[in-house]
Amino acid sequence: MTHIDAGAELDPVHPVPVPSRATDGLTAAEVAERVAAGRVNDVPVRSSRSMAEIVRANVFTRFNAIIGVLWLIMLFVAPIQDGLFGFVIIANTGIGIFQEWRAKKTLDSLAVIGEVRPTVRRGGTAVEVGTSEIVLDDVLEIGPGDKAVVDGVCVEADSLEIDESLLTGEADPVVKRPGDPVMSGSFAVAGGGAFRATKVGREAYAAQLAEEASRFTLVHSELRSGISTILKYVTWMMIPAALGLVVTQLVVENKDLHDSLARTVGGIVPMVPEGLVLLTSVAFAIGVIRLGRKQCLVQELPAIEGLARVDTVCLDKTGTLTEGGMDVTALRVLDGFDEPYVRQVLGALGESDPRPNASLKAIIDAYPDSEEWRCVQSLPFSSARKYSGASFSEGDGESSSWLLGAPDVLLADDDPALAETGRLNEEGLRVLLLARASRELDDPEAGLGARPAALVVLEQRLRPDAADTLRYFAEQNVRAKVISGDNAVSVGAVAGKLGLDGSAVDARRMPADPDGMAGALDEGTVFGRVTPQQKRDMVGALQSHGHTVAMTGDGVNDVLALKDADIGVAMGSGSEATRAVAQIVLLDNSFATLPSVVAEGRRVIGNITRVATLFLVKTVYSVLLAVLVVCWSVDYPFLPRHLTLLSTLTIGVPAFFLALAPNRERAKPHFVRRVMRYAIPGGLVAAAATFATYLIAGHHYSGEGALDAETSAATLTLFLVSMWVLAIVARPYTWSRVLLVAAMGGAFLLVLVVPWLQEFFALRLVGVTMPWLAVGIAAVAAVTLELLWRWVDRRFPA
């Protein structure tokens, strides 16, 4: 091991003295000095937006500004009941802030549970500390799967290879030697070593990376971007419609200023689908809370939606389908080697690796180390070469080099031991080959010419929940592809035990071009001997053919694929690097949690699509009514209080319950098209029916109170048509949905029959003929709407 003596000189940049031996780490006194000097990695790692950001995002919106100005106008020119819409906005915004705050608390607490503590040397002893406790000049140990959390310089390297792809985009690992820089955000893929921290806190790139890795976001989502697109077009429609309404009510009609302003505001307010954005945020936030209770950390909220859209899930076998532990079940000695001697070799190999993987841990448990053997050189395991090794000075003074790895990599194609390996793999067993090396370990082709000594047979522990989860994906028409670095036949046997049928493919024989690879992926189910780069290429090949891909994994060899997949899912016990790049982390390592995430995504997408139709039907009929009023140069039919009542009963309250209801419908693309194909005809029919009633009522009534009577008749028609829209959107019916629709109808009936509510909302049905005519027009509109939507379903299927 190489050591660098930093001496006792002062660092020219920092006045704090560095330790006399950099590899021993800082003393307690030196740590205290650096803490006092503020040289601490004290950047807070946030898993969510701050409370100030949450309030700002929910309060200071374009539509809240429009509604706020209109509300202030109404408070000065009209009774309080015409300003009710302002109080509704305040209540809705408050609910949004509260729900997102709850989601923030859930994310923050889960992020603390999942936080990894780096290993730091202090006073010659390795200790685990929190990321925020690292100080300048700390010596941090790093091994396979560990991420560099601060910038530094390498002081020890034992075949250390670091992947800097998250920083540079280059997939090939970089070999590090003492004196080389180590950048925060990179992670070790092979070997081990240590580096001294040269930049901590906000000076290190990790400060930015860690903040981005687990931020509470509401972007990069088809649902959110679709709603933004809709709102953009709504804004453009609102401007001319509102201007025309202002001119008509204030200038052309030349009516009382207060009444004209009230009716103008009454026409503008319902054009704003302000609750749609708010309800989407609330639905996402509640989804995070629900999944948080199941120990599922959603690092980016759109991941809930994304996993619901996935049609192909790529599963890493180790850690996903199987548990981390393994057991040695047999030892088959080869080529005349003595079994006791082979056991000694295996014990020494286990002891030589300071960071053993699951296979080596099983060997360590089965074969204790012989103290007579001394390791003089080691070759850490690399998923690219598929073997590890070590050189020993044996008790009698002789030296030897040994390799432990994949038989089909280390053995010649015609070696008889491969046949036995194949039979064992077919039984679902994992087989490692112990071989005596004929070349130096630092030779790039160290495995060539190795003499086989023994086959080590290991059995993997299957996850008890894996079979049920795979069955769920099959029922939901989500294809499962098992992608592993292990032998294809062995992986296929494991998949077969879990009920996953299909052919097993050796990835080394797969086409390299994306089209050929995608074709092989369509035909096969299990893929073995896959390199980390191939995993990434497989994800890209599937995406190039229009598939939405999720990738699960826990090892550092999965990071590249996790990063490129549409949705990356990491196990909580996996490497820090996998958790950093994944959008979803299963903190309890339960593969069975994935169906819950899919179900939550489907609930959010399906329900928001439902309620978006309600909001946008209102926007469409409001704009059309404004245009009709301008063209006919008449008073706008409604005061703000009327539309507040209608919006609350036919949209606001129902939408809240519908958005949170169970929904197992598979997520479908083209959100904007699917919503607008219902909203436009629905709005057209509602506006036409309402304006027809209003014009007929204008000819029917005359004298004092005629305008109130005309408004009441138009309100009745609009309410009944809107209720039919709600009844269609609420399908398929359940008892709770039927009760919800009935309750909204009952509430409106209550307003019509209770005298003080009639007066409060200025609703009074006069006579018998016109109210029944309003009901008749609404009935015709409902039948038209039903037929029109059915035609749309056939003509423009989703």
Measured distance CA(233)–CA(109) in Å, rounded? 39
DSSP secondary structure of 456-478 = EEEEEEEPTTHHHHHHHHHHTT-
Contact 350, 367 (CB under 8 A): yes
Closest CA to 48 of 234, 244, 221, 284: 284
Structure-block tokens of residue 185 = 């955000």
Can 316 be counted among the known catalytic residues? Answer: yes
Q: Helix crossing, 302-309 with 594-632: angle to 10°?
A: 100
Dmax over CA atoms of the chain, in Å, equals 120
Q: Residue 625 belongs to what H/E stretch?
A: helix 594-632
How far, in Å, CA of 233 to CA of 255, rounded? 32
Q: Which of 272, 322, 257, 213 is nearest to 92 (CA)?
A: 272
> 600: which 2 tokens?
């939550």
Quote the strand ranges of 523-647, DSSP E.
526-528, 549-553, 567-571, 584-586
Distance CA 792, CA 790 (A): 5
Amino acid at 504: A
- For the record, the structure tokens of 21 come out as 């031996």
Say whether 257 sits in a helix, a strand or coil. helix
Q: 81 vs 15, 92, 641, CA distance in Å?
A: 69, 18, 6
What CA–CA distance (Å, rounded) separates 516 from 505?
14
Rounded to whole angstroms, the Cα distance separating 119 from 140 reads 6
C-alpha radius of gyration, the chain, whole number: 34
From the number of C-beta atoms within 10 Å of its C-beta (0-12, 13-18, 19+), residue 483 rates as buried
Indicate the length of the chain as a whole number: 798
Let me know the angle formed at the C-alpha of 375 by 369 and 378, rounded to the nearest 5 degrees.
Answer: 110
| DSSP symbol at 317 | T
∠ CA 295-296-299, nearest 5°, is 135
DSSP designation for 369: P
Side chain identity at residue 27, one-letter code: T
Under 8 Å between Cβ of 579 and 570 = yes
DSSP string, 655-708: HHHHHHS---PPP-S-HHHHHHHHHHHHHHHHHHHHHHHHHHHHHH--STTHHH
CA 91, CA 647: separation in Å to the nearest integer? 14
Catalytic residue among 316, 408, 558, 566: 316
Element (H, E) at 646: helix 640-647
Q: Which residue has 């048509």 as its token pair?
A: 721
Structure tokens, 425: 């793999």
Helix (H, G, I), strand (E, B) or coil at 138: coil
Distance CA 23, CA 6 (A): 9
Decide if 82 contacts 639 (C-beta within 8 A). yes
Fill in the DSSP letter of residue 781.
Answer: H
Residues 612 and 729: their CA atoms lie apart, in Å, by: 10
- The residues annotated with a catalytic role in the active site are 316
